[in-house]
Amino acid sequence: MVNKEEFRKKIINTAGQIFSRYGFRKTTMDEISKALKMGKSSIYYYFPGKEEIFEAVVLNEANILRNELTKAIKSVESPLEKMRNYVFVRMKAFEKLSNYYNAIFDKNLDHFDFVETIRAKYDREELAILRLILYDGARKKVFSVANSEYTALAVQTALKGLEVPLFWKKKDVDIEERLNGILDVLFYGIVRK
Amino acid sequence: MVNKEEFRKKIINTAGQIFSRYGFRKTTMDEISKALKMGKSSIYYYFPGKEEIFEAVVLNEANILRNELTKAIKSVESPLEKMRNYVFVRMKAFEKLSNYYNAIFDKNLDHFDFVETIRAKYDREELAILRLILYDGARKKVFSVANSEYTALAVQTALKGLEVPLFWKKKDVDIEERLNGILDVLFYGIVRK
DNA sequence: AAAATATTCGAATAATTTGGTCGATTATTC
DNA sequence: GAATAATCGACCAAATTATTCGAATATTTT
| Spatial contact of B142 and B80, defined as CB atoms under 8 Å apart | yes
Q: Choose which CATH entry (3.30.450.40, 1.10.357.10, 1.10.10.10, 1.10.3720.10) describes domain B50-188.
A: 1.10.357.10
Å: B1 CA to D15 C1' = 35
ipTM: 0.83
Nucleotides of C under 7 A from a protein CB: 6-11, 17-23, 29
C20: residue with closest CA to C1'? A49
Q: What is the DSSP letter of B47?
A: -
Distances (CA, A) of A82 to A37, A56, A152, A190, B87: 43, 30, 14, 21, 45
Amino acid of residue A111: H
Q: Which residues of B sit within 8 Å Cβ distance of A?
A: 22, 26, 107
Core vs surface per residue A99-123: b (16+ CB within 10 A) or e: bbbbbbbeeeeeeeeebeebeeeee
Angle separating helix axes A4-26 and B4-26, nearest 10 degrees: 170
Optimal mutation site among B18, B24, B26, B105, interface A, most CBs of chain A within 10 A: B26
A20 neighbourhood in chain B, CB within 8 Å: none
CATH superfamily of A49-188: Tetracycline Repressor, domain 2 (1.10.357.10)
Residues of A in contact with B26 (CB under 8 A): 22, 26
Q: Is A22 left (phi over 0), alpha (psi -120 to 50) or beta?
A: alpha
Please tell me the predicted confidence (pLDDT) of residue A109. 42
pLDDT tens column, B29-60: 999 999 999 999 999 999 999 999 999 999 99
Q: Residue B188 CB closer than 7 angstroms to strand C?
A: no
Q: Are the CB atoms for A120 and A167 separated by under 8 Å? A: no
The residues on A that touch B, with CB distances below 8 Å, are 22, 26, 34
- Per-residue pLDDT at A7: 95
Distance CA B91, CA B65 (A): 10
Residue B97 CB-half CA count within 13 A: 20
* pLDDT score of A192: 56
Block mean pLDDT (10 aa), chain A, length 193: 85 95 92 95 96 94 94 94 92 79 56 80 93 90 86 88 66 71 78 54
Name the minimum distance, in Å, from the CA of B129 to any CA of chain A.
36
pLDDT digits (tens, 9 = 90+) for B86-124: 999 998 888 777 777 666 555 554 567 787 888 889 999
Tell me the chain A residues in contact with residue B22 when contact means C-beta distances shorter than 8 Å.
22, 26
CA B173 to centroid of chain Cα atoms = 19
Domain ranges for chain B, please list them. 50-188
